[in-house]
């Protein structure tokens, strides 16, 4: 019997179709691992009357009626669903989401990458990063524009990018438990770019010492393969189905290419709260992953 790390899913909604786009993926996960769902609406201070051309829920009565109508939809059949309206208006929606995830004992927050309501001002990753920085609750990001990809998100193949930093292996520990709950396979990836495909933010040395940088990168490959082999054997010994690969490409590109090859339907990545996603070199790659692959992305907090 696998001990569950997820018992409750928290889904922030504002009344827009954009925010509702996470529901198919969220409910597929809820049914697969048999957990409850809480739909929440946060009343935002000085909120606009419309959001994305649709009526904005600005009163507790409107919000309660809306959430109840969503919970009554046929797609929720067989799922234990709750609704919650935070009827005192707030300016910091991300903080309110984080606080409610704790107060309501929620284990995973699910939201679209282009949020609305208190999220509408914040493009990809911003609201999620703030929620993570304020607490330890993982956040699952769903791209609302990728209906075909999201329709095939059956939580059967997990891609876990790593960079050799032990702190970032926290995402792997989470992934291994979730994989057992979902009976999913795991693919481990380490990305080591060639000098020619390094992005400028990765290291200033690539501008001044190109030959040295190139040789250093080449030397990392054998170590990366040994590292992956060790982790793969450890996971396989626990009963998981695991594969691994080392890519010679820029991390975000490597993730997108490997996800497509492996048929991944979930990418699981460690993130450093207030410092941003720093699992690879020095730059934040979370937005790049979303732009390159657009597969649901699960961010796991790594606290300093």
Per-residue pLDDT reduced to its tens digit, 181-227: 999 999 999 988 755 545 544 443 443 333 444 544 555 677 888 98
pTM metric for this prediction = 0.83
CA dist list (Å): 294 to 85, 144, 168, 174: 30, 9, 21, 21
Q: Does 97 reside within a domain? A: yes
Residue 199 shares a structural domain with residue 127: no
- The pLDDT tens digits of the residues spanning 137-146 come to 899 988 876 6
Q: Say if residue 114's pLDDT is above 90.
A: no
- Of all residues in the chain, what percent carry a pLDDT higher than 90? 38
The whole-number pLDDT of residue 279 equals: 42
Residue 83 shares a structural domain with residue 192: no
Residue range 65-85: mean pLDDT, rounded: 95
Residue 169 shares a structural domain with residue 287: yes
Q: Is 82 exposed, middle or buried (0-12, 13-18, 19+ CB in 10 A)?
A: middle
Q: For residue 86, what are the contacts with CB-CB under 8 A and spacing of at least 6? A: 40, 41, 42, 43, 96, 100
The whole-number pLDDT of residue 303 equals: 63
Residue 195 shares a structural domain with residue 281: yes
Q: Please compute, for residue 248, the number of CA atoms within 13 A of its CA located in the half-sphere on the CB side.
A: 11
Q: Does 115 reside within a domain? A: yes
Residue 99 shares a structural domain with residue 229: no
Least confident stretch, 56-60, 84-88, 105-109, 261-265? 56-60
Q: End of a domain among 79, 112, 146?
A: 146
The whole-number pLDDT of residue 52 equals: 60
CATH of the domain at 94: 3.40.50.620
Residue range 240-261: mean pLDDT, rounded: 90
Q: Does 76 reside within a domain? A: yes
Q: End of a domain among 112, 146, 180?
A: 146
**DSSP letter for each residue of 220-266:** HHHHHHHHHHHHHHHHHHTT--EEEEEE-S-HHHHHHHHHHHHT-SE
Q: Does 189 reside within a domain? A: yes
Tokens representing residue 103 in the block: 């107060």
Q: Does 2 reside within a domain? A: no
Q: Say if residue 46's pLDDT is above 60.
A: yes
Q: Which domain holds residue 162?
A: 157-301
Q: Say if residue 22's pLDDT is above 60.
A: yes
Q: Does 151 reside within a domain? A: no
Least confident stretch, 48-52, 158-162, 242-246, 272-276? 272-276
Residue 133 shares a structural domain with residue 174: no
Q: End of a domain among 146, 181, 199?
A: 146
Residue 167 shares a structural domain with residue 129: no
Least confident stretch, 31-45, 78-92, 230-244, 282-296? 282-296
Residue 103 shares a structural domain with residue 163: no
Residue 24 shares a structural domain with residue 129: yes
User: How many structural domains comprise the chain?
Assistant: 2
- Per the listing, tokens 């793969």 go with 232
Q: Does 118 reside within a domain? A: yes
Residue 105 shares a structural domain with residue 210: no
Report the run of H or E that residue 270 belongs to, with start and end: strand 266-271
- The pLDDT tens digits of the residues spanning 7-19 come to 999 999 988 888 8
Q: Does 228 reside within a domain? A: yes
Q: CA 167, CA 14: separation in Å to the nearest integer? A: 35
Residue 114 shares a structural domain with residue 213: no
Residue 221 shares a structural domain with residue 273: yes
The whole-number pLDDT of residue 193 equals: 72
């Amino acid at each position: 019997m696998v001990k569950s790390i997820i018992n409750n899913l928290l889904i922030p909604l504002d009344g827009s179709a954009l925010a509702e786009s996470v529901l198919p993926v969220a409910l597929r996960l809820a049914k697969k691992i048999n957990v409850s769902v809480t739909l929440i609406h946060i009343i935002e201070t000085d909120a606009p009357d419309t959001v994305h051309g649709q009526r904005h829920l600005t009163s507790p009565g409107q919000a309660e009626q809306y959430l109840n109508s969503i919970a009554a939809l046929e797609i929720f059949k067989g799922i234990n669903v709750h609704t919650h309206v935070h009827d005192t208006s707030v300016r910091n929606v991300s903080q309110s989401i984080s606080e409610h995830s704790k107060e309501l004992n929620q284990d995973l927050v699910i939201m679209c990458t282009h949020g609305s309501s208190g999220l509408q001002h914040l493009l990809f990753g911003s609201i999620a990063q703030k929620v993570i920085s304020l607490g330890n609750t993982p956040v699952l990001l769903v791209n609302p524009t990728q209906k075909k990809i999201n329709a095939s998100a059956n939580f059967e193949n997990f891609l876990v990018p790593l960079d050799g930093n032990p702190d970032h292996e926290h995402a792997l520990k989470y992934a291994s438990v979730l994989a057992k709950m979902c009976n999913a396979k795991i693919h481990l990836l380490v990305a080591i770019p060639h000098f020619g495909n390094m992005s400028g933010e990765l290291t200033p040395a690539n501008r001044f010492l190109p030959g040295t940088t190139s040789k250093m990168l080449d030397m990392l490959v054998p170590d990366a393969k040994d590292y992956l082999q060790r982790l793969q054997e450890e996971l396989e010994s626990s009963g998981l189905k695991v594969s691994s690969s080392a890519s010679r490409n820029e991390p975000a590109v490597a993730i997108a290419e490997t996800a497509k090859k492996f048929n991944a339907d979930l990418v699981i990545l460690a993130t450093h709260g207030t410092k941003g996603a720093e699992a690879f070199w020095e730059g934040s790659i979370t937005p790049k992953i979303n732009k390159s692959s657009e597969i649901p992305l699960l961010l796991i907090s790594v606290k300093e």
